[in-house]
Structure 1
């Protein structure tokens, strides 16, 4: 009976993306045993994979409370509870394995790859193989408040930035942690679901660099095509789509601090806006990729309904290690991948498309002989084409340790207080309450600091209002997911675990500091070397300090003062020699907690042939190589005022249309 209730609940919980199988769209692929790919025995990499894994179980009070309810009751002593009730992807009826050939091979079922594969396989015009290194979602990944929990699970690639003196000093080992989604759905399975498109000027500048077809006017229809918006006060807005597959809604839970954030912004002269409209410079509640309080990943939006479509084969737990390229003609022919201890080589009749994300897409290009000649030659990799793959890398950084305490209770999300059966039942039945909060993040705003030299309303900082801090869960989830070192947490944050506190996050939108990446070795299972070069440009430091001062000014207004809000002045142990509040202190602090917001871009930079740093052209074709494209956030050539999930989905939509036009599939 208990198992029946679990399965029933899991099925009901999917009402945010009701499964309606596309039985009438059976595709063009015939079942023929002679057409199946023949697996090969593993080579040396099977026993020398060098892949990092998380050995310690990840738990939280919220999960433990959920496991005590009938809806989620299961064996809570299992070493990996996240393996239970996992979304399954099997081949369509009649197929027993992957075929030898497909029209298109899409590498990566993430934010871009999911929508791309869905669009290409529709209409019986082409066959698609979608390969994903990760696994399917589970019943816990859809719960918004648990988002930070998954940063220390096998749902991520546990990338680490190479050691850089003077940043991430308060993180474990002094290293910056760069987790990226490793799942069917990619980072949209583990992110904070914040839906942002970027400013019109961002995309217009990209187009002005020679990237035809990428102006704001060009990309807006692709944002709207995917979107199924259900936003308060915007039912008649001309800037939102309502017929797409991707639910975009208001977060059901709102604390009183969210109103204080918007009221304080108004007192400082900021407007309330729809930040996903062309008039985006202002403040608002967050718009999120969720439905009825539950996460809507790219997989849930674009893949769940087409599992039986015979023209698409989705293979999770399949690690692509090489693009097969004919050297004499520089033509991509297929891919090599590992699955269940066997190696496969499968061909693409039309194109190979990389949608593996801003780290794995360039990683695969370089392993396959496309990249900086000198670097590839030094590793003994035959060079197919000399391109600046991985030479450009931008990232959005944040400072998550600016903390404010309040003298009232029940205003913030304190984990030990909200971990109740009543809240779990509330969420299960109605999709609201604290469990529907995206880990406390509620509001958003764009500002231009006094450091900016831009003309007009072009922001250099994004602010995110929250109703929680690093101390709100006693350091068990968010701090650990960010790899905050024990010496820092215990000294600074543990003393306020019994005091309600919150933070206002900042995001440096347009860093001047530019990073890069390199192969570590020719072993495809070994993670590449990532160099963020955070805060190497003095303007970035000055902009972040200016943002901190602006946040403190904002909280020192009546809407926050009514709750007794005041900045927490406990000094970081390594910054004690500086006066609290001085520029020197804040620079030390941001170099101690230098947190990524997981928005790496430009590693496969888009640009015209005249751009010597470009990897793909404006139609996302790899320069100098036939039948090979990159369709994901790695192609974004400039920093944009956006979290990259929505842009990646838009790129998937636009990329699908360009590919269909190329092959006459419209």
Structure 2
């Protein structure tokens, strides 16, 4: 009985409040897990699971750390590592408790890729095409679980062991419906990275986005120069879209298409936009303004992450690529020769062992817009004053961690369904699981499907959108009787900051200050977007389908005290129901040497450091108009060409 109880507890933790943990729900999740496997436990970098059972127990049943007395400051055997001190010979970490053993392996590769995520998988795959080059990928998370391939379960991975489980600093101006938790942060800690747990949307953004990059000093990054890299990845199997050969390709490894399952609500939403006068468009084509049934990184009902597209097909065929999973990189190693600094390797910890790896050619950081700046700063590249305050040796004073931004989204669960609700009995859900397992169809094979791009009166560039609207089932992608309208700001002016945790710079979670809505124009654009989208309720399509506007779910707060049609009311709603869209960018900004905010040049090389390149969303100077997975894969494709050109 206790064993069964533990399984139930584990499943309840997995559903994390998004699925009711009733007996029927447990049975349903149990069946999915039986077919596709468990997500797995948290990565164990320090080998705590290998400790003998007789070890003294601390709070929550964890082993109580028993560190020896710290060494004298003059003892040359110890080296400062942030605020941690490691013993050269034994590798003991006095602040972590369990011993960290220093590996006696001496590893050397041509390229070391830190992070096997959205960008890292692409870079590693492309570089390993040269069989003379040896490539190592160091990924902090586990192998991609089979469950992650199911589109209908996307929301279940937020806050799980394949997510970094970060949170933004609580602020009063946004995410107030989460009370003291602050805005949630979703970042994949798994092979495939965030592309293994995101909403799977394939959106390139507007051509104007990339032309802006070029005009701000990034030569080689205009849309016409980048379109070939988008097409090089893309394998579009949607005949309606792929026939436009100027913008699309059918030959790339990244499968792009639409979900095989469409419920009645998708058709209602598309028809309502048509009634309002918007055009059906290919948002990845010439004109982004309008609406469409979304293109996704999927193949006939199964997720396609950057891992499944770029690494899985070649992993067993190429002996020159190695992948270390559940391995946490703790710092980049530098060699300073008469003021000339170059990156020479990395240290990583895996299962209680610290390993050092040297790179003959380059270190390539692909850890994402949060962990890449964190790793740079704890290695000695970043704001000089703060790093010196933390006793970290500074190799270059750069604005690492600044320019943090994301699409802020306001999700309102106000569409109440009657005739087209997709809620089902337990027996029907069992049939859906069987159908998906056997044929790859049914509700499990789809996620949100309808998206629209709108232009407000405050648009920066005429003819380009600054508002995205998407619709999703409330609390479930599959079985719902209410739809969330999510209005997202595509062109935020507000900028935030990533800061090292002063208490524990290396192993502590970074401090994330988003500063959402700091610029007044951001709130005004969101407000205009909300006013425009509520016009859907006046359409004959909505009335015929019995789509009702139900404000009760958004009035369980002080907003109910405002006059319902006032701007103050909607401003209150924005503060309460805003959340990040998890498209974090900008923290290692690409820009010219004259730009005081830039960290890398237009070849993605870190200023002042040889043999160190950054390839992920952190280099994006200004966020693109849409989900960032496709642009990040494009950046990785272009970076791979830049690296090949350098070393051939």
Map of 1:373 onto structure 2: 384
Residues 372 and 68 (structure 1), Cα distance of their counterparts in 2 relative to 1, 3 Å cut: closer
CA distance in structure 1 between the aligned counterparts of 2:588 and 2:40, rounded to whole angstroms: 33
Match of 1:431 among 437, 440, 443: 440
Secondary structure of 2:524's aligned partner: helix
Pairing 1:58–2:39 present: no
The question of whether the paired residues in 2 share the 8 Å contact of 1:255 and 1:412 is answered with no
Residues 103 and 457 (structure 1), Cα distance of their counterparts in 2 relative to 1, 3 Å cut: same
Pairing 1:544–2:526 present: yes
The question of whether the paired residues in 1 share the 8 Å contact of 2:123 and 2:639 is answered with yes
CA distance in structure 2 between the aligned counterparts of 1:632 and 1:398, rounded to whole angstroms: 22
- Structure 2 unaligned segments of length 5 or more: list them: 1-9, 44-102
Secondary structure of 2:411's aligned partner: coil
Map of 2:367 onto structure 1: 356
**CA RMSD, 1 decimal:** 2.4
The question of whether the paired residues in 1 share the 8 Å contact of 2:231 and 2:252 is answered with yes
Q: How does 1:24-423 map to 2 (within 5 A)?
A: 57-59=13-15, 60=19, 64-66=26-28, 73=34, 81-83=38-40, 100-238=107-245, 239-308=247-316, 309-328=318-337, 329-408=340-419, 411-414=420-423, 420-423=429-432
Map of 1:27 onto structure 2: none
CA distance in structure 1 between the aligned counterparts of 2:584 and 2:330, rounded to whole angstroms: 21
Residues 525 and 510 (structure 1), Cα distance of their counterparts in 2 relative to 1, 3 Å cut: same
Deviation at 1:516, TM superposition (A): 1.0
Residues 67 and 508 (structure 1), Cα distance of their counterparts in 2 relative to 1, 3 Å cut: closer
Residues 455 and 157 (structure 1), Cα distance of their counterparts in 2 relative to 1, 3 Å cut: closer
Residues 350 and 153 (structure 1), Cα distance of their counterparts in 2 relative to 1, 3 Å cut: same
The question of whether the paired residues in 2 share the 8 Å contact of 1:373 and 1:387 is answered with yes
Secondary structure of 2:313's aligned partner: helix
The question of whether the paired residues in 2 share the 8 Å contact of 1:197 and 1:647 is answered with yes
Residues 418 and 302 (structure 1), Cα distance of their counterparts in 2 relative to 1, 3 Å cut: farther
CA deviation digits over 1:8-55, x for unaligned, max 9? xxxxxxxxxxxxxxxxxxxxxxxxxxxxxxxxxxxxxxxxxxxxxx99
Deviation at 1:232, TM superposition (A): 4.0
Range that drifts further, 647-656 or 57-66: 57-66
Match of 2:452 among 424, 429, 445: 445
Deviation at 1:99, TM superposition (A): 5.7
CA deviation digits over 1:547-588, x for unaligned, max 9? 111111023211111112222121132222112242211211
Secondary structure of 1:363's aligned partner: helix
Map of 2:474 onto structure 1: 469
Deviation at 1:419, TM superposition (A): 6.0
Residue-pair matches, total: 566
Match of 2:514 among 532, 543, 562: 532
Pairing 1:649–2:637 present: no
CA distance in structure 2 between the aligned counterparts of 1:63 and 1:144, rounded to whole angstroms: 18
- Structure 1 unaligned segments of length 5 or more: list them: 1-53, 87-95, 475-496
Residues 306 and 447 (structure 1), Cα distance of their counterparts in 2 relative to 1, 3 Å cut: same
Secondary structure of 1:140's aligned partner: helix
Range that drifts further, 272-281 or 100-109: 272-281
Range that drifts further, 380-389 or 428-437: 428-437
The question of whether the paired residues in 1 share the 8 Å contact of 2:289 and 2:455 is answered with no
The question of whether the paired residues in 2 share the 8 Å contact of 1:413 and 1:472 is answered with no
Map of 2:491 onto structure 1: 510
The question of whether the paired residues in 2 share the 8 Å contact of 1:418 and 1:434 is answered with no
CA distance in structure 2 between the aligned counterparts of 1:81 and 1:172, rounded to whole angstroms: 31
Deviation at 1:381, TM superposition (A): 1.2
Map of 1:20 onto structure 2: none
Secondary structure of 1:197's aligned partner: coil
CA distance in structure 2 between the aligned counterparts of 1:211 and 1:271, rounded to whole angstroms: 33
CA distance in structure 2 between the aligned counterparts of 1:99 and 1:463, rounded to whole angstroms: 52
CA distance in structure 2 between the aligned counterparts of 1:586 and 1:401, rounded to whole angstroms: 11
Match of 2:614 among 607, 620, 630: 630
CA distance in structure 2 between the aligned counterparts of 1:454 and 1:534, rounded to whole angstroms: 19
The question of whether the paired residues in 1 share the 8 Å contact of 2:268 and 2:545 is answered with no
The question of whether the paired residues in 2 share the 8 Å contact of 1:227 and 1:244 is answered with yes
Secondary structure of 1:588's aligned partner: helix
CA distance in structure 1 between the aligned counterparts of 2:430 and 2:214, rounded to whole angstroms: 52
Map of 2:85 onto structure 1: none
